């Protein structure tokens, strides 16, 4: 464990950031799960609505630096492709 003052402060900051990041990641995972569930049900309207919410959450998570911007872009792209497949068929 850290013993000098700056290391103790850094440990506290890291813990606070870890909890904040964990919250954002959980929110993102739930949004993605909702979209995939709607796609599995072939519910086009619900899937589009959930996709819109998920994109917003994923972009916000990336802008805060919790996930990499390219990872966010990849997630959004894959979700959109899944939603588009049910709308075209």
* pLDDT (0 to 100) of residue 11: 94
Domains of the chain: 5-88 (1.20.58.110)
pTM: 0.87
* pLDDT (0 to 100) of residue 68: 97
Q: Distances in Å between the alpha carbon of 78 and those of 11, 21, 32, 55?
A: 36, 23, 10, 11
67 in Cβ contact with 23 (< 8 Å): no
Phi, psi of 60 (to 5 degrees): -65, -40
Question: Please, what are the averages of pLDDT over each run of 10 residues along the chain (89 residues)?
Answer: 90 95 97 96 94 97 96 97 88
* pLDDT (0 to 100) of residue 12: 95
């Amino acid at each position: 464990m850290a013993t000098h003052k700056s290391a103790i402060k850094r440990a506290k900051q890291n813990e606070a950031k870890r909890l904040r990041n964990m919250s954002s990641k959980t929110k993102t995972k739930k949004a993605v799960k909702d979209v995939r569930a709607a796609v599995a049900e072939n519910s086009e309207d619900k899937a589009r609505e959930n996709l819109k919410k998920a994109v917003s959450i994923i972009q916000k998570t990336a802008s805060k630096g919790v996930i990499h911007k390219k990872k966010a872009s990849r997630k959004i792209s894959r979700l959109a492709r899944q939603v588009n497949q049910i709308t075209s068929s």
